[in-house]
Amino acid sequence: MIAVVLVGGIGTRLRPLTYALPKPMLPVVERPMIARVVEWLASHDVTTAVLSLGYQPDAFVDAFPDGSWAGVELRYAVEPEPLDTAGAIRFAACEAGVERETLVVVNGDVLTDLDLRALVAFHGEKGGEATISLTPVEDPSAYGVVPTDVSGRVLAFIEKPAREAAPTNHVNAGTYVFEPSVISRIATGRRVSVEREIFPGIVERGALFALDSASYWLDTGTPERYLRAQIDVLSGLRPDVSLPECAQREPGVYFAPGSSVDGDISGCAFVGRDASVDAGALIEDAVIGASAHVAAGARVIHSVLLPGAVIREGAVVEHSVVGPSSIVGTGAAITGGSVVGAAALVPDGTLLDSAQLPV
């Protein structure tokens, strides 16, 4: 199988982290998100993945210098200008010379345990032009809502309806199977949305199908969900997901080689290579990246410290993300889904609540 992976977005909601690094390159427990996506594709017999690139494309090429990961050949298609979802899919397929193949299409910022083989088999059985994977969510208003008949044929594709108006809570999960006819109908030379333009047209032809799945699924596009992705790995909610080489001290607690932990650990935690946690510090449901340091009296709770971050004495990081090589000063508090970018300084005693630094 051949997959097109959409990784060209600018990651607005995870700024300022994404000023320095594209969202799919952000780590989930020390492994880039895109690496975890490709590993999932590999486990379902995908042999080639075409990365549809736009924002900071060199970051992906540099991360995989031999052009492969987990046994999957990686090809790169860099958009000359933003083409939106459908435009990006067609450009990537044509650039890689696979536009006449049946293609799997996935979003590079979605983590899932979907049975991709089952989706492809369902697509073949129905004989339609395209098939969408669906997942149930509590609030469908932020997604494409997809009502179907008993055969799985899609009756409508409703992009981001009001919550009270949504006919179902089953939404587009961002994994598709496309026949070449879909690619050929995508206009060139302009932005084209697969959700707003292509899918409604296929619905009109009665050729769009959808398959529900209760498998693990997470769109990592907000700080809250990016944090959740880390804990889901550590807690075993995704038990087959690989972790970097490390020792498991107890269920959900992992220490990488060279790490030093004298502080207290509660809940789930990962302490990366050469990272250190001083006596008197508290780590709870958190990822401490490689070479990061948490000083005495500091608390890191339900948060992620990216590699090289420093949390000084008495500081608090709670439900937040601190970027690589950043410093949180003595007695400072970072809370409420705050995001601190790369190499930033949070001065001593500063309070950041639901904030971004720099803006």
DSSP string, 92-134: HHHHTT-TTS-EEEEETTEEE---HHHHHHHHHHHT-SEEEEE
8 Å CB contact between 298 and 316: yes
3-state secondary structure (DSSP) of residue 146: coil
70-74, 121-125, 241-245: the lowest-pLDDT one:
241-245
Distance between CA atoms of 147 and 30, rounded to whole angstroms? 38
Is the four-CA dihedral 20, 22, 23, 28 of positive or negative sign?
negative
User: Of the candidates 104, 17, 15, which has an alpha carbon nearest to the alpha carbon of residue 52?
Assistant: 104
Q: Kindly report, residue by residue over 275-334, the tens digit of the pLDDT.
A: 999 999 999 999 999 999 999 999 999 999 999 999 999 999 999 999 999 999 999 999
Mean pLDDT over residues 197-212, rounded? 93
Cα-to-chain-centroid distance, residue 172: 15
CA distances to 67, 129, 259, 338 from 125, rounded to whole Å, are 33, 12, 51, 46
116-125, 143-152, 177-186, 342-351: the lowest-pLDDT one:
143-152
Distance between CA atoms of 82 and 52, rounded to whole angstroms? 11
Q: Kindly report, residue by residue over 163-176, the tens digit of the pLDDT.
A: 888 888 888 898 99
Mean pLDDT over residues 60-89, rounded? 93
| pLDDT of 184 strictly over 90 | yes
| pLDDT of 186 strictly over 70 | yes
User: Of the candidates 17, 206, 175, which has an alpha carbon nearest to the alpha carbon of residue 109?
Assistant: 175
| pLDDT of 247 strictly over 70 | no
Give the pLDDT of residue 239. 66
| pLDDT of 240 strictly over 80 | no
Q: Tell me the CATH architecture of domain 243-357.
A: 3 Solenoid (2.160)
| pLDDT of 65 strictly over 90 | no
8 Å CB contact between 170 and 156: no
Q: Kindly report, residue by residue over 1-53, the tens digit of the pLDDT.
A: 999 999 988 888 899 999 988 999 999 998 899 999 999 999 999 999 999 99
Burial of 123 (0-12, 13-18, 19+ CB in 10 A): buried
Q: Which two tokens stand for residue 97?
A: 């010379």
**Domain map of the chain by residue range?**
2-219, 243-357
| pLDDT of 249 strictly over 80 | no
Q: Tell me the CATH architecture of domain 2-219.
A: Alpha-Beta Complex (3.90)
User: Of the candidates 304, 286, 295, 146, which has an alpha carbon nearest to the alpha carbon of residue 211?
Assistant: 146
| pLDDT of 242 strictly over 70 | no
Q: Kindly report, residue by residue over 103-120, the tens digit of the pLDDT.
A: 999 999 999 999 999 999
CA distances to 23, 98, 330 from 235, rounded to whole Å, are 23, 39, 30
Mean pLDDT over residues 249-274, rounded? 90
Confidence of residue 237 (pLDDT cuts 50, 70, 90): confident
Is the four-CA dihedral 19, 25, 27, 28 of positive or negative sign?
positive
Q: Kindly report, residue by residue over 327-359, the tens digit of the pLDDT.
A: 999 999 999 999 999 999 999 999 999 999 997
